Amino acid sequence: MARKPIIAGNWKMNNTASEGAELVKALKPLVKDAKCEVVVCVPAIDIPAVKKAIHGSKIRLGAQNVHFAEKGAYTGEISAKMLKEYGVQYVIIGHSERRAYFGETDETVNKRTLAALNAGLTPIVCIGESLEEREGGLTEKVLDRQISIDFQGIEDFSKIVIAYEPIWAIGTGRTATDEQANETIGYIRKRMKKVYAHKNVGRLRIQYGGSMNAKNAKGLMAQPEIDGGLIGGASLKAEDFAKVVNFDK
């Protein structure tokens, strides 16, 4: 079965609720004929307004983080059940910024991923190596560690998405070539099949999360191993994001 491409926008800490609603209202007609799944992952406080604004469109709603507990004394956190009740379908887990700034570990990424799955959400789980690790020849070692820990306990990999983030290519002025991105994502897919055989890994979708934009989306999406993109800055303007979504035109 062919893997359906998925393009997800990660707004990060941008857009108030009203700004977010206006953005997706402008986006809706631009992506109405998209052949891929289209997701916007928005700040938690924007979720109700964006949910209302995307009604009747092909755009799906995502969040940017989720806690691993169902409830409890976790001030400032949001549970999977809370997100689900508001109509969220996808959630980003383990983004490089969460790992770098907020203490996320492979172990907590695994717990959050399982919590999201248990609530019926689709996790977009981010993995990838830093510039120091890339230059030190440690890319495969880092990915092997993340793969072995982050996905423990998952029984059906058609229900998750992996986003490969080459951290060294995000905001550094360095870019991965189409071939580099494809090669590394191919390695991830091969490793996943080896470690998690017979768990529907053949239907696993792997996005590229290294600054995909309107200029490079077509080339990246032409690569056989790349199933989509996790889009940062290019998702903050409707026209720019639509060009990525409509990479095949």
- CATH number for the domain spanning 241: value is 3.20.20.70
pLDDT of residue 59: 98
The answer to whether position 1 is within a domain reads no
User: Per the structure, how many domains does the chain have?
Assistant: 1
5 within 8 A of 36, measured Cβ to Cβ: yes
> Exactly one of 97, 129, 165, 225 is catalytic; which is it?
165
- Residue 142's alpha-carbon distances to 65, 99, 177, in angstroms, are 22, 14, 20
b vs e for 119-133, b when ≥16 Cβ sit within 10 Å of the residue's Cβ? bebbbbbbbbbbeeb
The answer to whether position 147 is within a domain reads yes
Q: Is 107 a catalytic residue?
A: no
> Exactly one of 67, 95, 97, 129 is catalytic; which is it?
95
The answer to whether position 114 is within a domain reads yes
pLDDT grade for 223, boundaries at 50, 70 and 90: very high
Contacts of 69 (CB under 8 A, 6+ apart): 77, 79, 115
pLDDT of residue 174: 67
Question: Worst-scoring range by mean pLDDT, 4-18, 117-131, 171-185?
Answer: 171-185
Residue length of the chain: 249
> At 65, phi and psi to the nearest 5?
-170, 160
> Which residues span the domain enclosing 174?
6-245
Three-class SS state of 122: strand
pLDDT grade for 220, boundaries at 50, 70 and 90: very high
pLDDT of residue 210: 84
Q: Half-sphere exposure (CA, 13 Å, Cβ side) for 213?
A: 13
1: pLDDT strictly greater than 80: no
Token code pair at residue 125: 């789980």
235 within 8 A of 15, measured Cβ to Cβ: no
Q: Is 165 a catalytic residue?
A: yes
* pLDDT (tens digit per residue) in 151-181: 999 999 999 999 999 988 776 656 689 999 9
User: At residue 249, what is the residue type?
Assistant: K
pLDDT of residue 84: 98
